[in-house]
A = this chain, B = another copy of it.
Amino acid sequence: MERHYVFWSDLSADYRLHDQEAYDKWYGWEHPHPDYLNKSVFGVPELHREEIKKAQLVSCPGCMAVTSMLALAPLIRNNIIDTDHIVVDSKIGSSGAGSGSGTAHAMRAGVIRPYKPAKHRHTGEIEQELSEIAGKKIHVSMSPHAVDVVRGILCTNHTFMKKDMEEKELWKLYRQTYGEEKFVRLIRDKKGLYKFPDPKFLVGSNFCDIGFDLDEDNHRLIALSASDNLMKGAAGSAIQNMNVMCGFDEMDGLRYTPLTPV
């Protein structure tokens, strides 16, 4: 038990990337303590639970990164999508997007604003994690947009299938990956307004809701994932990681479930 004295569930972006070159590229400056980069564990228990249990330094993920990668991981792991054309189109509220004068009410009300269509830093995290799963370098095409909500992310993960699969096969893959997970919910309602994930119904909770739709014409699989960027996307992840690191019940402090519409 070497972990008695110091361990850390880190909310900053300082140790999310394991590779110094990647860090310098995405952040635009040299990391002052590169020796720690490959000692930190990327803090998504659904992907790294066993490592987190033993880690001294866990780096909590970017909100858009974790929301997107949870939808994409099963597709990469099962090698069913074209990894050259992964388009992640994200929509996020004011507590997640930007800072400075852009946070004022007048600047947020009523917008649908692309704010970093290319080269957003969270891309590096998604690429790192999916590449690790794939066993090869994977590129991700991410574009975030600011919309007029306070909390919430929706990631529309557009992917192209290597060969066509049926909906039920795909649900099976998702269930195999997340069937035991407490904080991932699989969503599909055949009718009604709430057929797909919508972050409106996740505010205050640590859930990541995942669903998908199929566009057979284009062999496209649209994986949809939603979360509250202040919970599963940040503070909630930090608590979930702490719970795993300390051997607590993983749900402690995170049991809140908002009302969902009927």
Where the two chains meet, the residues of A that have a C-beta atom closer than 8 Å to any C-beta of B are 85, 87, 89, 91, 94-95, 101-115, 117-119, 139-141, 143, 145, 147-150, 152-154, 156, 158, 160, 193-200, 204, 212-218, 220, 222, 224, 226, 259
Contact = CB atoms under 8 A, between A and B. Distances in A.
18 contacts: A87-B87, A91-B91, A94-B109, A103-B105, A105-B105, A105-B107, A105-B150, A110-B200, A112-B147, A112-B154, A112-B200, A115-B196, A117-B196, A117-B213, A118-B214, A118-B222, A141-B218, A158-B158
Given A89-B158, A107-B193, 12 more contacts: A87-B87, A91-B112, A94-B104, A103-B105, A111-B149, A114-B213, A117-B212, A140-B218, A141-B218, A143-B213, A145-B156, A147-B148
A224 B147 contact: no
B156 A114 contact: yes
A113 B204 contact: no
Chain A contact residues: helix, strand, loop or mixed: mixed
Given A118-B214, A259-B204, A148 B149 contact: yes
Contact of A105 (B91, B109, B214): B109
A111 B198 contact: yes
Contacts of A104: 94, 103-105
Contacts of A198: 111-114
Contacts of A199: 112
Nearest to A152: B112
Contacts of A140: 218
Contact of A218 (B139, B148, B213): B139
Nearest to A160: B85
What 3 pairs between A and B have smallest CB-CB spacing?
A: A118-B215, A117-B213, A89-B89
A20 B114 CA distance: 37
Contacts of A102: 193
A6 to B, nearest CB: 29
A71 B262 CA distance: 34
B114 A196 contact: yes
Nearest to A259: B204
Contacts of A195: 114-115
Contacts of A95: 106
A213 B199 CA distance: 27
Given A87-B87, A143-B222, A147-B112, A117 B156 contact: yes
B145 A154 contact: yes
Contacts of A87: 87, 89, 158
